[in-house]
Amino acid sequence: MPKVLTEEQVEHYHSEGYAFPFDGISKERCQKLLDGVQRFEEEYGVNPGLFKLKGHLTMEETWDFIHEPAILDAAEDIIGPNILAFGSRFWVKPGNDGSFVSWHQDSTYFGCDPHDMVTCWVALTPATKENGCMRVMPRSHNEGYHHEESYENAPGDAPGEKKNLLGRGQAIKGLDESKAVHMELKQGQFSMHNERTAHASSPNFTDEVRIGYSFFLIPPHVKSTLERRPAHLVRGVDKYDHWDRDPEPNKDTMPKLIEMMIAHNAQYTNPKFRQNA
Ligand SMILES: O=C(O)CCC(=O)C(=O)O
């Protein structure tokens, strides 16, 4: 018996590669995270959205959030009671600035095997067609697609210039976009998709920023196909020991953690590190 999802939702996730919308996070909790983003930017001069893999180490608010029971209960219905946070990140799309996400499978570059990761994407602000909500390609999780890497992700100076939020500008070409599903979410709702489900999002054509937060969650039997890496056990037990442990963030460890996250970013965007989707 699933814990919080219905049998139909679990079945839909496994057959289609995604499921949504789920209620989970209060507006107050979302606001706390958004305030954290602003404070972090003021304190360190960088937007935490730049840290592509270890968002939960950027601030105490995200360390707290990575243990959020509403998200972990839903994830448990998909991947079981033992859960590691492999990663997490903010997805910040300022109004009308051209940021977008090309069609991709996370499995192409996360270096995890088997592809049992579930991503829970939380709408910290509402996610709509107009502001570039996530789109998924149903049943695409059943195959691996070729990705072209354009590295078209350097922030441009001109307003409205296209900016790919993915590290390598990696993109699957030629998908039939008419089959895509827009995962519109109200503030505090979340969606779930499999590591292999192809997904994308268009630029934000409104004046308001769109911010989401992804939890990249794996069961402990999943191995790293790169080198040994850290992850954080957020629920249950890990009897496999495939992963080291993420350090806990606090004011003293923060400067070192920022250095570590920059190194993670470099690895994530390094063409040498790749695997087959
Ligand atoms: O926030 C977006 O638009 C894309 C999110 C995404 O690619 C992900 O969560 O894996």
Q: Please report, in tens digits, the pLDDT of each residue of the chain (277 residues total).
A: 888 999 999 999 999 999 999 999 999 999 999 999 898 888 877 778 777 788 898 888 899 999 999 999 999 999 999 999 999 999 999 899 888 999 999 998 889 999 999 999 999 999 999 999 999 999 999 999 999 887 765 554 444 556 888 877 888 999 999 999 999 999 999 999 999 999 999 999 999 999 999 999 999 999 999 889 999 999 999 999 999 999 888 778 777 777 777 776 666 666 555 544 3
Question: Which residue has the CA at smallest separation from atom 1 of ligand 1?
Answer: 91
pLDDT tens-place string over residues 8-53: 999 999 999 999 999 999 999 999 999 998 988 888 777 787 777 8
* Domain presence at residue 259: yes
Choosing from 134, 194, 215 the residue with most ligand 1 atoms within 8 A of its CB, the one to mutate for a pocket test is 134
* Domain presence at residue 1: no
Quote the distance between the C-alpha of residue 150 and its chain's center. 20
* Domain presence at residue 102: yes
Measured from the Cα of 166, ligand 1's closest atom is: 7
- Other beta carbons within 10 angstroms of residue 114's beta carbon come to 13
Any ligand 1 atom below 6 A from CB of 121: yes
Question: Can you give the pTM of this predicted structure?
Answer: 0.91
**What is the CATH number for 160?**
2.60.120.620
Q: Separation of 123 CA from ligand 1 center, angstroms?
A: 11
* Domain presence at residue 273: no
pLDDT tens-place string over residues 210-238: 999 999 999 999 999 988 999 999 999 99
* Domain presence at residue 74: yes
Q: Separation of 200 CA from ligand 1 center, angstroms?
A: 7
Q: Separation of 104 CA from ligand 1 center, angstroms?
A: 9
Q: Separation of 239 CA from ligand 1 center, angstroms?
A: 30
* Domain presence at residue 2: no
Domain enclosing residue 247, as ranges: 7-268
Domain count, the chain: 1
* Domain presence at residue 277: no
Measured from the Cα of 201, ligand 1's closest atom is: 3
Choosing from 199, 211, 216 the residue with most ligand 1 atoms within 8 A of its CB, the one to mutate for a pocket test is 199
Question: Which residue has the CA at smallest separation from atom 8 of ligand 1?
Answer: 214
State percent of the chain over pLDDT 90.
66
Measured from the Cα of 104, ligand 1's closest atom is: 7
Any ligand 1 atom below 6 A from CB of 119: yes
